[in-house]
Structure 1
Amino acid sequence: MVTATEVVLTLPFEHTTARPEYNWIRESFTVAMAELLDSPGLIAVPLDECHLAYEKLGLSRTALLTRATEIKLGEAVGADLLVRGTYTVTGEGKDSTLTVRAQMISLREGKLVGSEHVLSAPVADLQVIQGKLAWELLYQRNPALPFSRDRLIARATRIAPTAYEIYIKALVTEDPADRARLLIRAIEEATRNAQLTFPQAYFELGLLHYRDGRYGEAATWFERVRATDPRGLEAGFYLGVCQLLTNQTDAAIKTHTALLTPMPLFETYVNAGVAYMQKGDFAEAARLTKLAADTVPLDDEALFNYGYALWRDGRPAEAVTPLETLTRRTATDGRAWYVLSKVYAKLGRTAEATAALDAAKRHAPDFARWETAGKPPWLPFVKTRFNREAFHRYARGEEQSRQQAFLGTSVLQRTAELMRDAQAAFLENRSDTALEKLAQVIQLAPDHSEAHLLLGRVHERRGDLPAAVQALKAAVFWNPKLTAAHVLLGRILLTQGDRTRAAVHIRQALDLNPDDPDAQAAQRLLLAPPR
């Protein structure tokens, strides 16, 4: 039984044939596995964090990696498991064949986990290969998976193949204009194939506009990414900045308020403070910016915003300390000197106010404009970027804490609660919720036969008969005396035309309980002439 939460990094696969037109496939494995391997007990490292590790080690994204470098990359992101692989492409055009070899390595134990995986299919079926590979990697780690291989492949192929190829090519394209054109094409192609949403492409397109300073256009794309989508929290951060910089104050407050809990980085608090300053609520702004400044005391911009908010809120005595700290730390900070001069003046410290004003004249290029504006100048800093490494570290820590808290509860108590929730969801025809609860039960207790039985019922209702058969086989494996599982398995096998195996399970059900009406009904179906 696997209960520990582990982190897995999938490195870009090495292309071992001289076919540059297929180089784009390299990073597609990191993109795909970051989603497909993310499951109970396992946290997958996204492509963005993988790129950060490359930058941290001074590696180019196209570098060929030695085993030692691969291990360093894994250590850089705190991975427990590493997935590495190679691929070759043979043939031409529609006859091109992709062959993939991959293996999972335990960094803690320094050895291969399971055996090497080899898969081959037409290049057009890249996503199918990735779904199959993800299944094999997950299954070798935990055979009690609460979902079928077909279900995982369906997840892998949600994006139309042509849209997926164009999207991956956009990610590996350096030129911003070319990347934008490819992303638009990917979105158009997905729409043509009846794909209702493509949040990954929306995020990347929004980011391109954002980096180019086109905040209005960026916002239109970031708004299409939900918080629960991949990169959803990051999209929310950038959307909030766009709203600040385009003076959409109420929207900025709403966006940042929603981010404070799931993305409590100091940059989020700084920007939330700026949003409240735009509204004129300097008391709330001071509270938020103090939290940011206390979290990262050496960040000059957070400290300045705190002092500025206190000054604008009419609290000059409190504003002195952060502003004096800043001017001692950075004697050329014209903004800090200017606000400090006003604070000293308000407190009647005339000589110090004059000296601070002289320093502001020397170090602030906009001093004259500030003095002649007739109102307090607008001086707060907006954080247009956040520490991505800190964000990934926090997000992973939260997920690990969530999973460990889940696993730390009394197993019997927790499984009982989850089974009650799953049964209620099943009765109310909320299949997705039932599947989610059952996945948690089976993660806690792979031998929970009733959970496997209910999982089989859910899959049968959804029409996924292969998954239902797999779940019911697990149910009777863990509890050979579970009559209901034998009956349902027999009925489904009959539906699939497998009368021989159906007869075995129906007979077992009757042996266990000759008076069971469902078993008797299944027996009548079995004895009826085939249609």
Structure 2
Amino acid sequence: MRSSIRPLSGLRKGMVFDRRKTLVLFSLMCLLTGLAAGQVLPNVPAVMQPAFTDPALERARQLVESGEFQRAEADLRAYLSSNEHSASGRFLLAYTLMRLDRPKDSLGEYTLAAKLRTPSAEDLKNVALDYVLLNDYDDADNWMRRSLQMNSKDPDAWYGLGRIRYTKGRFQDAVECFQKALALEPRSVKAENNLGLAYEGLNRTDDAIAAYRKALQSEQDLGEQASKPPGEQPMLNLAIVLMHRGHFDEALLLLTRAVAIAPRDPKIREQLGHLYLHQGKLSDATQQFTQAVTLSPDNAALHFMLGQVYRRQGQDARARAEFARAAALNGSHSTPDRN
């Protein structure tokens, strides 16, 4: 069973984080501002963050929108040094820190911001994403559900909850979340693609294939309208399922398209290596696994597969070197025949 949904990030080494203390503090601030823990609130339509009337905040917002998060943080901290009770400034800084992959700092700012203003559904969704960054999927699930209690019409929140539940192995729940996202945004490629992954988790392969094909079709239609190239993930996921079913010709076409779009994705290189190995094209398989290892040098499985190809080619010294590297990365002394 594949786990193809990618968490945004892991907790950085050395980070000391008392998640329960922060959760309690944030819950308390929500309670003090009228958002009681577990309270079911009426649906509030989500709106885009409007332009700020304050010129300094508006400049920071524009920096965030353009992806200049470090500059936005510097400007916001300067602004808050003389406007410490600005709720808008605090919430914008909290979001900026999340985008900088600093979830602990972001949650701290959300806690301060919640003292000043009731958090919106969008704010709670971002709190959930902070917990995703910390690999704390239980709390992420909790806050994403709180966000949906405030605004059940947000397709991104349903998509986010689906990703969280997929990661927790709750595949049927994930299917239902992705379906709700698609009901609100029928041509969402990411929701359709992840619906396919959830179906795979339930061993509903035919449904998974249909979802991947629909994702590809939606992506093609949207790409033509926006003159954008398609993404590689639905191609990769569909190709893997087709390979499992023995449909190697179509899988090769998909993987060839995918690698042209994302030549530095080691997962695509790995699957091309498996396909060529199955076809007995050892030279092509060696090339793909070598590139996969170069792109992901700490992946023990890739070193092991490259060793297998070398061994089939009679290159025993190279095979032994790859097997030794795989064993070292696994922290074991297992032999290739026992893996």
Using the size of structure 2 for normalisation, the TM-score is 0.53
2:136 corresponds to 1:214: yes
On the 8 A contact 1:269/1:292 being kept in 2, the answer is yes
User: What is the SS of the residue equivalent to 1:298?
Assistant: coil
Residues in 2 aligned to 1:372 and 1:281: alpha-carbon distance in whole angstroms: 33
- Let me know the Cα RMSD of the aligned residues: 4.4
Deviations 1:461-502 (A, max 9, x none): xxxxxxxxxxxxxxxxxxxxxxxxxxxxxxxxxxxxxxxxxx
Residues in 2 aligned to 1:255 and 1:189: alpha-carbon distance in whole angstroms: 32
Q: Which residue of 1 aligns with 2:290?
A: 362
Q: Which residue of 2 aligns with 1:13?
A: 53
Q: Kindly provide the amino acid, as one letter, of the partner of residue 267 in structure 1.
A: K
Q: Which has the higher contact order (CA 8 A, sep 6+)?
A: 2
2:206 corresponds to 1:283: yes
Alignment partner of 1:235 out of 132, 137, 157:
157
On the 8 A contact 1:170/1:180 being kept in 2, the answer is no
Q: Which residue of 1 aligns with 2:235?
A: 303
Residues in 2 aligned to 1:371 and 1:61: alpha-carbon distance in whole angstroms: 44
On the 8 A contact 1:244/1:252 being kept in 2, the answer is yes
Pairs within 5 Å for 1:18-29: 26=57
2:148 corresponds to 1:226: yes
Rate the CA distance shift 1:303–1:212 in 2: closer, same or farther, 3 A.
same
Q: Which residue of 2 aligns with 1:269?
A: 192
User: What is the SS of the residue equivalent to 1:226?
Assistant: helix
On the 8 A contact 1:199/1:225 being kept in 2, the answer is yes
The Cα shift of 1:246 comes to: 2.4
On the 8 A contact 2:286/2:306 being kept in 1, the answer is no
Q: Which residue of 1 aligns with 2:257?
A: 325
Residues in 1 aligned to 2:209 and 2:194: alpha-carbon distance in whole angstroms: 12
Flag the structure with higher strand content.
Answer: 1
Residues in 2 aligned to 1:62 and 1:332: alpha-carbon distance in whole angstroms: 33
Q: Which residue of 1 aligns with 2:331?
A: none
Q: Which residue of 2 aligns with 1:435?
A: none
2:104 corresponds to 1:172: no
On the 8 A contact 1:199/1:230 being kept in 2, the answer is no
2:247 corresponds to 1:315: yes
The Cα shift of 1:305 comes to: 1.3
On the 8 A contact 2:128/2:141 being kept in 1, the answer is yes
Q: Kindly provide the amino acid, as one letter, of the partner of residue 208 in structure 2.
A: A
Structure 2: gaps (5+ residues): 1-46, 76-84, 98-102, 221-228, 294-300, 309-339
Q: Which residue of 2 aligns with 1:94?
A: none
**Matched residues, percent identical?**
14
Residues in 2 aligned to 1:334 and 1:169: alpha-carbon distance in whole angstroms: 39
On the 8 A contact 1:334/1:359 being kept in 2, the answer is no
Deviations 1:291-344 (A, max 9, x none): 323415632222211211222344334323212333566666553344345445
Residues in 2 aligned to 1:369 and 1:247: alpha-carbon distance in whole angstroms: 27
On the 8 A contact 1:289/1:302 being kept in 2, the answer is yes
The Cα shift of 1:200 comes to: 4.0
On the 8 A contact 1:283/1:310 being kept in 2, the answer is no
Residues in 2 aligned to 1:224 and 1:206: alpha-carbon distance in whole angstroms: 9
Rate the CA distance shift 1:330–1:358 in 2: closer, same or farther, 3 A.
farther
Q: Which residue of 1 aligns with 2:8?
A: none
Q: Which residue of 1 aligns with 2:108?
A: 181
Rate the CA distance shift 1:298–1:182 in 2: closer, same or farther, 3 A.
closer
Q: Which residue of 1 aligns with 2:180?
A: 258
Pairs within 5 Å for 1:132-531: 166=87, 169-173=90-94, 176-184=103-111, 199-226=121-148, 229=151, 232-263=154-185, 264-294=187-217, 295-296=219-220, 298-327=230-259, 334-343=266-275, 349-350=279-280, 352=281, 354-365=282-293, 366-369=301-304
The Cα shift of 1:362 comes to: 0.9
Flag the structure with higher helix content.
Answer: 2
On the 8 A contact 1:361/1:367 being kept in 2, the answer is yes
Deviations 1:127-150 (A, max 9, x none): xxxxxxxxxxxxxxxxxxxxxxxx
The Cα shift of 1:219 comes to: 1.8
The Cα shift of 1:259 comes to: 0.9
Rate the CA distance shift 1:363–1:179 in 2: closer, same or farther, 3 A.
closer
Rate the CA distance shift 1:287–1:359 in 2: closer, same or farther, 3 A.
farther
Residues in 2 aligned to 1:372 and 1:251: alpha-carbon distance in whole angstroms: 40
Residues in 2 aligned to 1:277 and 1:322: alpha-carbon distance in whole angstroms: 18
Q: Kindly provide the amino acid, as one letter, of the partner of residue 299 in structure 1.
A: G
Deviations 1:326-370 (A, max 9, x none): 356666655334434544566xx43x3x23322233123332456
Using the size of structure 1 for normalisation, the TM-score is 0.36
The Cα shift of 1:165 comes to: 5.9
Q: Kindly provide the amino acid, as one letter, of the partner of residue 304 in structure 1.
A: L
The Cα shift of 1:184 comes to: 3.6
The Cα shift of 1:172 comes to: 3.4
Rate the CA distance shift 1:168–1:219 in 2: closer, same or farther, 3 A.
farther
Rate the CA distance shift 1:9–1:165 in 2: closer, same or farther, 3 A.
closer
Deviations 1:199-218 (A, max 9, x none): 34422311222334433322
Q: Kindly provide the amino acid, as one letter, of the partner of residue 201 in structure 2.
A: Q
Residues in 1 aligned to 2:93 and 2:261: alpha-carbon distance in whole angstroms: 42
Residues in 2 aligned to 1:178 and 1:334: alpha-carbon distance in whole angstroms: 32
Structure 1: gaps (5+ residues): 1-6, 16-22, 28-46, 64-163, 374-531
Residues in 1 aligned to 2:48 and 2:87: alpha-carbon distance in whole angstroms: 26
Q: Kindly provide the amino acid, as one letter, of the partner of residue 107 in structure 2.
A: A
